Amino acid sequence: MNIIIIGAGKTGATLAEDLCGEGHNVTVLDTDQERLSQIGDEYDVLCMVGDGLNNADLSEAGIEDADVFIAVTGSDEQNLLSCLFAGKNPRCATIARVRNPMFLKENAFIRDRIGLSMIINPEYAAASEIARLLRFPSAIEINTFAKGRLEQLTFRIPEGSVLDGKNLTYVRTKIEKNLLVCSVERGGEFFIPSGHFELRTGDKVSIVIEPRVAQRFFRHIGIDTHKVPTAMIVGGGMMTHYLAEQLLNHGVGVKIIESDRARCEELSEKFPSAIVINGDATDKKLLLEEGVKETGAFVAISGIDEENILLSLFVKEVSGAKTVTKVNRIAFDSVIAKLDLDSVVYPRSITAEYILQFVRAKQNAVGSNVENLYKLIEDKVEALEFKIREDAPLIGVPLSEMKLKDNVLICGISRARRIIIPGGGDTIRAGDSVIVVTSHKHLNDVSDILA
């Protein structure tokens, strides 16, 4: 497909990389020549100096032939107006990044009036992901499928766990039948395991499970499932605004540390039940005085990646708190993965996942559409949710007889309001939502999993 990206910042560069990697014709438009040069040097995309609010520039970028138009500049208003101008091509889907909380409440109205296909708010999406993690702090990562009725949870097997040395068949027959282990990361290697695969202490394990069953399973294996009672948040930006609102609504005590006094006053006025501290979070004495050793969770989401990482590492040393660390700029994912951090959130990657999901669903599909897409294990594995249409070639075939590609696992089926953790005798029906985990990239249709 022909895709135009307006904005060559961090998110624009991530999108250019991902969409180019999926074989699309990508054009990036920005007024900053230096940013464009960096993207053009790294990826096989067309880079143009221009403005998304200029009709001549849009025409030169190929708006008349574009299939998808994505506006991710630093200005909400420019993103919305650019999409409005791009609407002169009625066949082109338009996506705008919008961050202002004022616009969030008017999403549906704005989308309908401007004719947008999607509005994405990366700070809100990241805050929602963090809030889910703090409601289930033993999880490293939580992704939702089937409108929240099914979850993919990632956790690390602790010392002395009943899972150590057990194969997956034993786990499903003796511990919990209503789950499926979909991937395991061990010592830098990843596996999409069979029933004979044996788990070990220290493995990072991803399971697909219903939320109500997850509580029972984790209690059985001795892992705490209670939400955190309190959270200390470093940074007072937009993500903190969204996160504090969600945590306070769920009864979590919130303490915010922010260096900008004016911003502290804004947050205090908006959230009177939160404690807002005007101070420097890199001051170890301040953190200790404010109770970092006693807090249930420590969330480092300031605008400086290095500060977030170092603060989380410090808190891991002095406290048993669940740590969540925002990283938005540093590109050394493999190095960060080796650090002793609990959960790391990448807002630009969350944005890219939402948009990739939309783009794949827009492509011609034989029997399904991509409903959800998540990247796991440093982008080596993808978890996808497909909506099955009546002409899908997999319908009615028992899973045990289905000829699948290697490293493909069908790990969940949502049928009406029923959740099925599939076995070999189960079949797929039209209307089902099917969750697939695979190391194969760029799957656009459920039929792509067939050998």
The 8-class DSSP code of residue 10 comes to H
Asked whether residue 99 is assigned to any structural domain, the reply reads yes
Phi first, then psi: what are they for 261, rounded to 5°? Answer: -65, -45
Asked whether residue 48 is assigned to any structural domain, the reply reads yes
Mark whether 272 and 241 lie in a shared domain.
Answer: yes
C-alpha span between 230 and 126 (Å, rounded): 19
Contacts of residue 7, Cβ cutoff 8 Å, sequence gap at least 6: 29, 30, 52, 71, 72, 73, 74, 79, 97
Residue 113 has a pLDDT of 82
Q: Find, among 72, 74, 75, 77, the residue nearest to 94 by Cα.
A: 72
Structural domains counted in the chain: 4
Of the residues 99, 120, 141, the one at which a domain ends: 120
pLDDT in tens, the chain (451 residues): 899 999 999 889 999 998 998 889 999 999 999 999 999 999 999 999 999 999 999 999 999 999 999 999 999 999 999 999 998 888 999 999 998 888 877 878 888 888 899 899 989 999 999 999 999 898 999 999 988 889 999 999 988 899 999 999 999 999 999 999 999 999 888 899 888 999 999 999 999 999 989 988 998 888 877 889 999 999 999 999 999 999 999 999 999 999 999 999 999 999 999 999 999 999 999 999 999 999 999 999 999 999 999 999 999 999 999 999 999 876 666 677 778 889 999 888 888 888 988 888 777 555 567 888 888 876 788 899 999 988 888 899 999 999 999 999 999 999 988 999 998 899 999 999 999 999 988 788 888 899 8
Asked whether residue 360 is assigned to any structural domain, the reply reads no
CATH of the domain at 376: 3.30.70.1450
Q: Find, among 259, 256, 261, the residue nearest to 283 by Cα.
A: 259
CATH of the domain at 272: 3.40.50.720
Rounded to two decimals, what is the model's pTM? Answer: 0.84
Mark whether 145 and 209 lie in a shared domain.
Answer: yes
Cross-strand pairs, 253: 230
Of the residues 345, 380, 408, the one at which a domain ends: 345
Mark whether 299 and 215 lie in a shared domain.
Answer: no
Mark whether 109 and 150 lie in a shared domain.
Answer: no
Residue 153 has a pLDDT of 93
Residues in the chain: 451
C-alpha span between 173 and 167 (Å, rounded): 10
Q: How far apart are the first and last CA of the chain?
A: 25
Mark whether 15 and 69 lie in a shared domain.
Answer: yes
Residue 108 has a pLDDT of 80
Mark whether 130 and 106 lie in a shared domain.
Answer: no
Q: Name the 3-class secondary structure at 412.
A: strand
**How do residues 338-371 score in pLDDT, each as one tens digit?**
788 899 998 888 888 889 888 887 775 555 678 8
Domain that holds residue 388: 365-449
Asked whether residue 246 is assigned to any structural domain, the reply reads yes
The 8-class DSSP code of residue 106 comes to T
Asked whether residue 277 is assigned to any structural domain, the reply reads yes
Mark whether 131 and 47 lie in a shared domain.
Answer: no
